[in-house]
Amino acid sequence: FTEDCRTAMYPPSGPTFRGAVRWYTVDLDLPPSKRWAPLIAERKNDVRPLMADTLPSPFGEEIKGIADASGVPLGEVVLFNIFYEVFTVCTSVVAEDIFLPFHIHRQPPSCWDVKNKSWTISEKLKPLVVNLDFKKNNQTVFKSTNFAGYVGMLTGIKPHMFTLTMNERFSLDGGYIGILEWILGQRDGMWMSFLTRTVLEKANSYEEAKKLLAETKLLAPAYFILGGNQTGQGCIITRSRTLSIDVLEIDPKLDRWYVLETNYDHWKEPFFLDDRRTPAMRCMNQTTQTNISVSTLYDMLSTKPMLNKLTTYTTLMQVSEGKLESYIRDCPNPCMPW
């Protein structure tokens, strides 16, 4: 199921391209309760189908139970449960000189539609993908690709300064347990995707972003993939809840001109049924540093198994131009479920 590295896929078209992602402005000068109203009003018919009633059994009922027991509004518990789990399995790369983290977001294997050969949640999420332009004083502060209704951030750019992505890190010390403990008030720490957003909003350099991402206490483990605006600024920060366990940086001296993260610690082998790392590196190596661009990265991300049935969208960012572009993806059969 690994295919030859794709070429000439960009600009996006054809059966793997469902459409461009729409842009919305989020005005940070408005009070927080008003900022999302225009977007949600326009997209409410896409947002509604994702509420608790549509979650597969027994999760919908369990989540309602947690909401009842904790007194936390149901909507919040749903979001907390699905968003981290659902949205954060992806592949990210920062390449020297252009710093392009990119992302293939994937969903949980809870509801494979046999007849349609697709993930039902993945299909429901595609209409929710939006690009956001966060402004203050009518000026862009940062941009992100998000799901309508989600206020955290998985991937975004602070133009001319840095690009940032979060990936899920599976660990015993995290996921549902951490989240449940947080709801029950037994755990402190920050939501991973809220840290991503805070860093995009507040940090004013690559170094400042790196420090915040490495040192802020979290609710669950995560990977942060950060790219800067200077040669040599690109890293993967592997986080436990409390610590930065490892920082892998671009290093021209070691011929390491890119760093690449799927969902496994980079010093360990990926799970054998989900090795997107080896084929992704093969395509990166084949492309060479000289030829790396938005277009060749899109090619790599259009190659199976980097493109698979869980792929919701592909985002490409270029820090020096302050550019973020996202495309909703399909993976026509034959295509791996993940």
Ligand X SMILES: *[C@@H]1O[C@H](CO)[C@@H](O)[C@H](O)[C@H]1NC(C)=O
Strand boundaries in the chain, DSSP class E: 17-20, 23-27, 92-95, 102-104, 112-113, 118-119, 129-136, 139-147, 155-158, 162-168, 222-227, 234-239, 244-249, 258-261, 313-318, 323-329
Nearest Cα to Cα of residue 237 among 320, 311, 162: 162
CB of 133 to ligand X, least distance (A): 10
Answer for the pair 98, 293: CB distance below 8 angstroms, yes or no: yes
Query: Distance between CA atoms of 229 and 248, rounded to whole angstroms?
Result: 17
CB of 281 to ligand X, least distance (A): 4
Residue 268 lies near ligand X (rule: CB under 6 A): no
Query: Distance between CA atoms of 273 and 283, rounded to whole angstroms?
Result: 19
Select the residue interacting with ligand X from 39, 52, 121, 161 (CB under 6 A): 161
Residue 291 lies near ligand X (rule: CB under 6 A): yes
Nearest Cα to Cα of residue 289 among 256, 249, 247, 262: 256
Select the residue interacting with ligand X from 45, 57, 138, 186 (CB under 6 A): 138
CB of 7 to ligand X, least distance (A): 8
- Which residue of this chain has its Cβ atom nearest to ligand X in the complex? 205
Residue closer to ligand X (CB basis): 171 or 229: 229
Residue 289 lies near ligand X (rule: CB under 6 A): no
Residue closer to ligand X (CB basis): 124 or 187: 124
Residue 282 lies near ligand X (rule: CB under 6 A): yes
Residue-by-residue DSSP string for 180-191: HHHHTT----B-
Select the residue interacting with ligand X from 14, 71, 115, 268 (CB under 6 A): 115
Residue 3 lies near ligand X (rule: CB under 6 A): no
Residue 44 lies near ligand X (rule: CB under 6 A): no
Select the residue interacting with ligand X from 160, 177, 215, 242 (CB under 6 A): 160
Given the residues 5, 90, 111, 283, the one annotated as active site:
90
Answer for the pair 166, 84: CB distance below 8 angstroms, yes or no: no
Residue 116 lies near ligand X (rule: CB under 6 A): yes
Residue-by-residue DSSP string for 9-67: --S--STTEEEEPPEEEEETTS-GGGTTHHHHHHHHHHHGGGSGGGSPTTHHHHHHHHH
Select the residue interacting with ligand X from 40, 72, 281, 336 (CB under 6 A): 281
Residue 333 lies near ligand X (rule: CB under 6 A): no
Query: Distance between CA atoms of 153 and 156, rounded to whole angstroms?
Result: 7
Query: What is the CB neighbour count within 10 angstroms for residue 270?
Result: 15
Select the residue interacting with ligand X from 42, 288, 321, 332 (CB under 6 A): 288
Q: Residue 70: enclosing H or E segment and its boundaries?
A: helix 59-70
Instruction: Give the relative orientation of helices 192-202 and 206-215 as an angle to the nearest 10 degrees.
Output: 160
Positions in 217-236 near ligand X (CB under 6 A): 229
Q: Which listed range, 10-18, 78-86, 108-116, 238-246, lies at the site for ligand X (CB under 6 A)?
A: 108-116
Mention every residue, 6+ apart, whose C-beta is less than 8 A from residue 68. none
Q: Which listed range, 178-186, 212-220, 267-275, 285-293, lies at the site for ligand X (CB under 6 A)?
A: 285-293
In the 8-state DSSP scheme, what is residue 6?
Answer: P
Dihedral, CA atoms, 219, 226, 325, 337, nearest 10 degrees? Answer: -60
Residue 4 lies near ligand X (rule: CB under 6 A): no
Query: Distance between CA atoms of 221 and 241, rounded to whole angstroms?
Result: 5
CB of 51 to ligand X, least distance (A): 18
Catalytic residue flag (residue 335): no
Residue closer to ligand X (CB basis): 70 or 229: 229
CB of 134 to ligand X, least distance (A): 14
Residue 285 lies near ligand X (rule: CB under 6 A): yes
Residues annotated as catalytic are 90
> Which positions touch ligand X (CB under 6 A)?
113, 115-116, 123, 138, 160-161, 205, 229, 255, 278, 281-282, 285, 288, 291
